[in-house]
Structure formats: C-alpha cells, structure tokens
C-alpha cells in the first residue's frame, strides 16, 4: 500500500507549529498573539509593542481625511476623490515591507496591511462621522503587468480589508485598458496625460452605490486613483474615499 500524505492534517500541523515559533518581524521578540483593536493578525508577524509603535498618521488631527492637511491638499492638485485615508507615511518599516511584498513575494504581508487598515479605519470612525460605504474596489493592474507579476497587491489588500469589515468588494468592475509607461519621474501634468482613458468599467454600477472606498498600496500623486474616481463619478458615484497603506509625503 502506498503511503499517502494527508495534506489537511499536514497543513494544520505546519501552521500550528509556525504559530509557536513566530518571531516579531521588526524586533525578533517571540509572539503569542497580536491584537489590533480587537483584530487578530491571521499570522503573527509583529509583537504588540511594535504594533503600537508603528508610525501611524494621527487621524484625529485631520478629522479622518488627510486632504484636510494643507500640505497634502496642495501637493495633490486636480483630484477627483473627496477623502484620503492612509495608515502611515511611506517610511520604514512600511516602505521595506511593501518592497518585500512586491519583489520577494511576501504575500502574508497583505494580511498585515489589511488588518492595520481595518484597525485604523475603525478607530477613525469612533470620532468621525462619514457616509455609509456601499462598495470597496482596488486599483487594477493592466493584464500584461498582472501576467508578469502574477498578482495585484492592491487587490490582495482590498479583498481582505472588505472581508474583515463585512463590506461588498468587486474585483473586476474597473479594468486597466491602457498599459502605460511607468509613472516614475513624470510631473503631475505628464502623469494625468499618460493616464487619460487608461481605465474602464466592465459593467454598470447599481444606482444605490454612492460612496466607494478605492484601495491601493501606495499613493504618491494620487493621479491613478483620481482617474478611476473620475470614471466612477460619471457612473453616478457621489463620494470616493481613497484608502491606502502608505502615502508619500510632499517634500
Ligand atoms: Zn516587535
């Protein structure tokens, strides 16, 4: 008789084993459980001390909308979204983690990002009143880029974020139809020109969808999210909140 590996048993044994030998990604301390305002990390990646010590934006100072911060508002001209929510500036350890996710395939970090986003979002809602959210979307990749990379970071984060907040998520509503050159090194005007007609809606939106959360991993000039917001507005959406893990701060 052939020996057969019971994959389910093996997986649970392996994952349980991992839980017990987890070390904090930042300080190396042993981790049992990490709690983020009641959210348990699906995989223990950080100790409670490092979780508390991350460089979060203070949402209360800006009333839950980073566009209320004059330097940010002036750095993102001609945008079509109403609200901007980010967990942290694009600095250590977030820049380091985002690069690891993108170039080393550390997909477990998507779970960390979405949990951090959820926790900060819920915390912001404790002191700020905003319109009810009807739908969550993510910034799409062009199919060619997706084929090369194999995944879309924004989708991985958004899907998990929506699930944790019990909000509807649609992965395929917005598609990228133009495979633009990189946005790196381009001015705001060049970026907007480069992005014109880069996105399309694959089907029409329900008429009751008025407030959308658009999720991305990093926002620099906001021009990509703005182009998608413009399209959503034409389809009847009233408010777009851009939700991102990191925001590159103006110099
Ligand atoms: Zn730690």
Please report, for the domain that includes residue 149, its CATH number. Answer: 3.40.50.2020
Average pLDDT of the chain to the nearest whole number: 87
Same structural domain, 42 and 68: no
Same structural domain, 47 and 75: no
**What is the structure's pLDDT at 45?**
83
How many A from CA of 186 to the centre of ligand 1? Answer: 37
How many A from CA of 46 to the centre of ligand 1? Answer: 5
- Terminal Cα distance for the chain, rounded: 68
**What is the structure's pLDDT at 14?**
53
How many A from CA of 93 to the centre of ligand 1? Answer: 12
DSSP run (H or E) holding 218:
strand 211-219
Same structural domain, 151 and 202: yes
Share of the chain above pLDDT 70, in %: 84
- Does residue 65 belong to any structural domain of this protein? yes
How many A from CA of 181 to the centre of ligand 1? Answer: 39
- Does residue 5 belong to any structural domain of this protein? no
Same structural domain, 28 and 113: no
Same structural domain, 67 and 102: yes
- Does residue 151 belong to any structural domain of this protein? yes
Share of the chain above pLDDT 90, in %: 60
249 vs 230, higher pLDDT: 230
Domain holding 37, by residue range, is 16-53
Q: Among positive and negative, which fits the CA dihedral 42, 84, 200, 206?
A: positive
Same structural domain, 138 and 37: no
Helix axes 223-234, 188-195, angle to 10 degrees: 50
- Does residue 221 belong to any structural domain of this protein? yes
Phi then psi for residue 95, to 5 deg, are: -60, -35
How many A from CA of 30 to the centre of ligand 1? Answer: 8
CA pair distance 244, 133, nearest whole angstrom? 16
How many A from CA of 107 to the centre of ligand 1? Answer: 20
How many A from CA of 31 to the centre of ligand 1? Answer: 8
Q: What distances in angstroms separate CA 53 from CA 58, 63, 92, 228, one per listed residue?
A: 13, 21, 12, 34
**What is the structure's pLDDT at 39?**
60
pLDDT tens sequence across 85-120:
999 999 999 999 999 998 888 888 999 999 999 999
- Does residue 1 belong to any structural domain of this protein? no
- The token duo for 21 is 């030998």
Same structural domain, 49 and 113: no
Task: State which residues have CB under 5 angstroms from ligand 1, the bound ion.
Answer: 24, 26-27, 29, 47, 50
- Does residue 128 belong to any structural domain of this protein? yes
pLDDT tens sequence across 193-238:
777 889 999 999 999 999 999 999 999 989 999 999 999 999 999 9
Same structural domain, 116 and 232: yes
pLDDT tens sequence across 147-187:
888 889 999 999 999 999 999 999 999 999 988 766 666 66
How many A from CA of 39 to the centre of ligand 1? Answer: 17
Q: Is the pLDDT of residue 16 over 60?
A: no
What's the structural domain count of the chain? 2
How many A from CA of 33 to the centre of ligand 1? Answer: 12
- Does residue 184 belong to any structural domain of this protein? no
């Amino acid at each position: 008789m052939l020996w057969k590996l019971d994959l389910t048993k093996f997986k649970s044994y392996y994952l349980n084993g991992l839980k017990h030998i987890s070390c904090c990604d930042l300080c190396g301390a042993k981790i049992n459980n990490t709690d983020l305002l009641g959210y348990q990390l699906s995989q223990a990646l950080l100790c409670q001390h490092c979780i508390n010590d991350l460089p979060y934006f203070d949402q209360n100072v800006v009333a839950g909308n980073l566009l209320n911060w004059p330097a940010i508002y002036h750095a993102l001209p001609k945008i079509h979204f109403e609200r901007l929510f980010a967990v942290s500036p694009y600095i250590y350890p977030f820049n380091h983690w985002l690069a690891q996710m993108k170039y080393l395939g550390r997909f477990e970090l998507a779970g960390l990002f979405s949990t951090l986003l959820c926790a900060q979002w819920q915390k912001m809602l404790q002191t700020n009143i905003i319109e009810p959210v009807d739908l969550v979307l993510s910034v799409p990749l062009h199919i060619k880029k997706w084929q090369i990379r194999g995944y879309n970071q924004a989708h991985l984060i958004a899907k998990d974020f929506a699930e944790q907040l019990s909000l509807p998520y649609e992965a395929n509503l917005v598609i990228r139809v133009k495979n633009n050159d990189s946005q790196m090194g381009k001015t705001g005007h060049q970026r907007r020109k480069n992005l014109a007609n880069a996105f399309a809606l694959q089907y029409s939106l329900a008429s009751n969808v008025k407030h959308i959360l658009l999720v991305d991993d990093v926002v620099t000039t906001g021009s990509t999210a703005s182009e998608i917001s413009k399209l959503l507005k034409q389809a009847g959406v009233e408010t777009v909140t851009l939700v991102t893990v990191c925001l590159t701060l103006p110099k």
